[in-house]
Chains A and B, each alone.
Chain A
Amino acid sequence: MEDLTLEQALGELEQVITQLDAGDLDLNQVLALYERGQWLARRCQQQLDEAELRIEQLAGNG
């Protein structure tokens, strides 16, 4: 997996959306961007889930 921080991933996701929003792309580009966007979103979600789990575990051990 790519080594992306949450911030980076969120930032890139925003860029992807801006690009998609702008239109004037061909379908292949749109598909590639969309796929990347969903991948980024999943990855962010995963990172957030993991972070939350860790925080809860750490807090629980206190």
Chain B
Amino acid sequence: MFGESYSVSEITAHIKERLDSDPTIQDLWVRGEILNWSQPRSGHCYFTIKDAGAAIRAVMWRFAADHLSFVPQDGQAVLAHGKVSVYAPQGSYQLYVDALQPAGRGALYAQFEAVKERLAAEGLFETSRKRPLVPFPTTVGVVTSATGAALRDILHVLGRRWPIVQVVLAPTLVQGEQAPSQIVAALELLYGRDDIDLIIVARGGGSIEDLWAFNDEQVARTLARSPVPTISGVGHETDVTIADFCADVRAPTPSAAAEVAVPDQAQVRESLSGIQKTLTESALAYLHQKAQRLGDLQQRLDKLSPELRVVRHRQQVDELASALQRLGERSIQARRERLVGLVGRLAGLDPNATLARGYAIVHKQGRIVQSADQLSVGDELDIRVARGAFRADVTSVEEAR
């Protein structure tokens, strides 16, 4: 009939263990009104926090109570931070409070400080974590409201400074209860893309409550693990949010965030034209150097022109030619002299001279007659003498012996 039984201590320990292992109630903020505030000599504070439907007993140890910045009073709305655990001797669970703030702005501020301290302790705000921005981003992700002035301002500034940048809007609510989870989702959406060079998280100005989503711990943590550099531009210049601490660069406003996100085309153009000038100058200097080298080589080459050599050769040829000519002339002269001799000798052989001495040349039918055998009686002979010629008939032929 009876199953296994537990001692009161055993079951209480079991319940305590269950509570202590639930992370939600190990680190939480509870809001409500103070009831039955008491602070005995020990310095520890005992009270109840209640709202319309429930109440929870609370205790705050002296070391936490010493840090109270106000005097809690019954009926006061407060925000208490701490953990829920079991107080075994009374069989009750209670809230162990380590920080207590009046609700409203003070509470918000306290919450802000708590989150900030916690994240700072984890090193999320370390300067060493801050990444440099991309100098020339191609695509910028923007997390803000699709309908807000912040987006308009950002687009205006981006368009003026660096019109070629692509903007990917991850629209989100930027205030209200849904805002933190939407901002986280919008960031995650951008993290999932591989074309985003830079992310701007922005919201226009508003009350501290309006900006509260940017103090959300999840938003801060999500922002801190961005794969690309981030810029926050939330509210006005005087507003500081947790998101500002987590971003790589904190800009005072959405417009300012856009300013730092992209380079200014006017400046880029200016420095570009400077670079271009330098480029041209160095290219021309290079050419100049080559031209100088070429000039030197050209000069050396010109000095090596074969012209001189040709001139020298020509001279040689001229000399040889004139030597040749001289030789030729000399041999012609010799021949000429020989010719004169021969002509002289020839003159001695002139038949006319013989005729002049009284001889005659006898032709028969154009042939010189040298023998009487050539003749017959009645032949006509042409006879040439030194002066003139005459015809004769053969009247007799005397045979030669």
B284 touches A52 (CB 8 A): yes
Q: What's the minimum C-beta distance from B135 to chain A, rounded to whole angstroms?
A: 22
A41, A51, A52: the one within 8 Å of B297 (CB): A41
A17 touches B300 (CB 8 A): yes
Q: What's the minimum C-beta distance from A44 to chain B, rounded to whole angstroms?
A: 5
Q: What's the minimum C-beta distance from A41 to chain B, rounded to whole angstroms?
A: 5
Binary per-residue interface labels of chain A (36-60) against chain B in the complex, 1 for a CB within 8 Å, 0 otherwise: 0110010011001001100100110
**C-alpha spacing A11/B283, complex, angstroms:** 20
A34, A48, A58: the one within 8 Å of B301 (CB): A34
Task: For the A-B complex with A27-B306, A34-B305, A55-B284 known, give 20 more contacts whose Cβ atoms are closer than 8 Å.
Answer: A10-B294, A16-B301, A20-B301, A31-B306, A34-B306, A37-B304, A38-B301, A41-B294, A41-B301, A48-B290, A48-B294, A51-B287, A52-B284, A52-B287, A55-B280, A55-B283, A59-B276, A59-B277, A59-B280, A62-B280
**C-alpha spacing A37/B284, complex, angstroms:** 25
The answer to whether B313 has its CB under 8 Å from any CB of chain A is: yes
Binary per-residue interface labels of chain B (261-290) against chain A in the complex, 1 for a CB within 8 Å, 0 otherwise: 000000000000100110010011001001
Number of interface residues, chain B, beta carbon within 8 A: 21
Chain A residues with CB under 8 Å of B298's CB are 41, 45
**C-alpha spacing A13/B293, complex, angstroms:** 11
B301 touches A27 (CB 8 A): no
The answer to whether B342 has its CB under 8 Å from any CB of chain A is: no
Q: What's the minimum C-beta distance from A23 to chain B, rounded to whole angstroms?
A: 10
Nearest opposing residue in chain A for B297, CB measure:
A13
B287 touches A62 (CB 8 A): no
Number of interface residues, chain A, beta carbon within 8 A: 24
**C-alpha spacing A41/B301, complex, angstroms:** 9
A30 touches B306 (CB 8 A): yes
Nearest opposing residue in chain A for B283, CB measure:
A55
B297 touches A10 (CB 8 A): yes
B280 touches A48 (CB 8 A): no
B290 touches A14 (CB 8 A): no
Chain A residues with CB under 8 Å of B309's CB are 27, 30
The answer to whether A21 has its CB under 8 Å from any CB of chain B is: yes
Chain A residues with CB under 8 Å of B280's CB are 55, 58-59, 62
**C-alpha spacing A20/B293, complex, angstroms:** 18
**C-alpha spacing A59/B272, complex, angstroms:** 12
A27, A45, A52: the one within 8 Å of B294 (CB): A45
Contact status of A62 and B294, CB under 8 A, knowing A21-B304, A34-B305, A55-B283 = no
Chain B residues with CB under 8 Å of A44's CB are 290, 294
B297 touches A14 (CB 8 A): yes
Chain A residues with CB under 8 Å of B300's CB are 17, 21
**C-alpha spacing A58/B280, complex, angstroms:** 9
A10 touches B290 (CB 8 A): yes
Q: What's the minimum C-beta distance from B290 to chain A, rounded to whole angstroms?
A: 6
Q: Which of B283, B304, B309 has the most A CB atoms < 10 Å from its CB?
A: B304
Nearest opposing residue in chain A for B291, CB measure:
A48
Provide 7 A-B residue pairs closer than 8 Å at the C-beta atoms, listed in order of the A residue: A20-B304, A27-B310, A34-B304, A38-B301, A52-B287, A55-B284, A55-B287
